[in-house]
A and B are shown apart, each in its own frame.
Chain A
Amino acid sequence: MKHTISVLVKNEAGILSSVCDLFSTRGYNIESLTVAATIDSVFSRITIVTNGDDVVIEQICKQLNRLINTIKVVELPKSADKCIDRELILCKVSAKDDVRSEILRISEIFGAKIIDVSPDTYTLEYSGDNRQVMALIALLRPIGIKELVRSGMVAITRENQFINLSK
Chain B
Amino acid sequence: MTAEQICKTEKMNGARMFLECLRKEGVDKIFGYPGGVILHIYDELYNCDFIKHYLVRHEQAAVHAAEGYARVSGKPGVVLVTSGPGACNTITGIANAYYDSYPLVVFTGQVDSKLIGNDAFQESDIVGITRTCCKHNYLVKNISDLPRVIKESFHIAKTGRPGPVVVSLPKDILTCKTDFEYPDKINLPGYNPTYEGHPIQCRRALKKLCEAQRPVIISGGGVIHSDAWKELRELARRLNIPVATTLMGIGTFPQDDKLSLGMLGMHGNYWANLAVSNCDVLFAVGTRFNDRITGCLKRFCKDAEVIHVDIDPCSISKNVHVDIPIVGDAKNVINVMLNEYNTGKYLYNEELRKLWCSQIDSWKEKRAIRAVENGIMSPQTVIEHIYQKTKDKNAIIATEVGQHQMWTAQLYKFNQPRQLITSGGLGTMGFGFPAAMGAQIADRSRLVFNIAGDGSIQMNIQELMTCVDYKIPIKIAVINNGYLGMVRQWQEKLFDKHYSQTNITSPDYVKLADAYGILGIRVTKEEDIDTALDKAIAFDGPVIIDFVVEPFEMVYPWVLAGKPLNEVILSNNEAGAGD
Give the B-binding residues of A (Cβ under 8 A). Answer: 9-10, 13-14, 17-18, 21-22, 25, 55, 58-59, 62-63, 65-71, 165, 167
Q: Give the CA-CA distance A139 to B132 in the complex, in Å.
A: 43
Contacts of A21 in B (CB 8 A): 131-132
User: Which chain B residue has the least Cβ–Cβ distance from A10?
Assistant: B190
Q: Contacts A69-B190, A70-B190 known; A25 to B314 CB distance under 8 Å?
A: no
Q: Give the CA-CA distance A89 to B298 in the complex, in Å.
A: 44
Residue among A17, A66, A71 making CB contact with B128, cutoff 8 Å: A17
Interchain Cβ contacts under 8 Å between A and B, 27 examples: A9-B190, A13-B139, A13-B141, A14-B128, A17-B131, A18-B131, A21-B131, A21-B132, A22-B132, A25-B132, A55-B317, A58-B317, A59-B314, A59-B317, A62-B313, A62-B314, A65-B313, A66-B312, A66-B314, A68-B135, A68-B136, A68-B190, A68-B191, A69-B190, A71-B189, A165-B189, A167-B192
Q: Contacts A58-B317, A59-B314 known; A67 to B132 CB distance under 8 Å?
A: no
Report the minimal beta-carbon distance from B564 to chain A, rounded to whole angstroms: 21
Report the minimal beta-carbon distance from A8 to chain B, rounded to whole angstroms: 9
User: Which chain A residue has the least Cβ–Cβ distance from B128?
Assistant: A17
B336 on the A face (CB < 8 A): no
Determine the interface band of chain B, counting residues with CB < 8 A from chain A: 20 to 34
Report the minimal beta-carbon distance from B13 to chain A, rounded to whole angstroms: 24
User: Which chain B residue has the least Cβ–Cβ distance from A59?
Assistant: B318
Residue among B137, B190, B314 making CB contact with A71, cutoff 8 Å: B190
The number of A-B residue pairs with CB atoms under 8 Å apart is: 44
Q: Give the CA-CA distance A66 to B132 in the complex, in Å.
A: 12
Q: Is the CB of A14 within 8 A of B318?
A: no
Q: Give the CA-CA distance A69 to B149 in the complex, in Å.
A: 13
Q: Contacts A68-B156, A70-B190 known; A14 to B131 CB distance under 8 Å?
A: yes
Q: Give the CA-CA distance A61 to B22 in the complex, in Å.
A: 35
User: Which chain B residue has the least Cβ–Cβ distance from A14?
Assistant: B127
* Residues of B89-145 contacting chain A, CB below 8 A: 127-128, 131-132, 135-137, 139, 141
User: Which chain B residue has the least Cβ–Cβ distance from A65?
Assistant: B313
Q: Give the CA-CA distance A165 to B312 in the complex, in Å.
A: 22
B188 on the A face (CB < 8 A): yes
Report the minimal beta-carbon distance from A16 to chain B, rounded to whole angstroms: 11
* Residues of B313-328 contacting chain A, CB below 8 A: 313-314, 317-318
* Top 6 A-B pairs, shortest CB-CB distance: A68-B136, A62-B314, A71-B190, A25-B132, A62-B313, A68-B191
Q: Give the CA-CA distance A25 to B98 in the complex, in Å.
A: 15
Of B127, B135, B156, B318, the most chain A CB neighbours within 10 A belong to B318
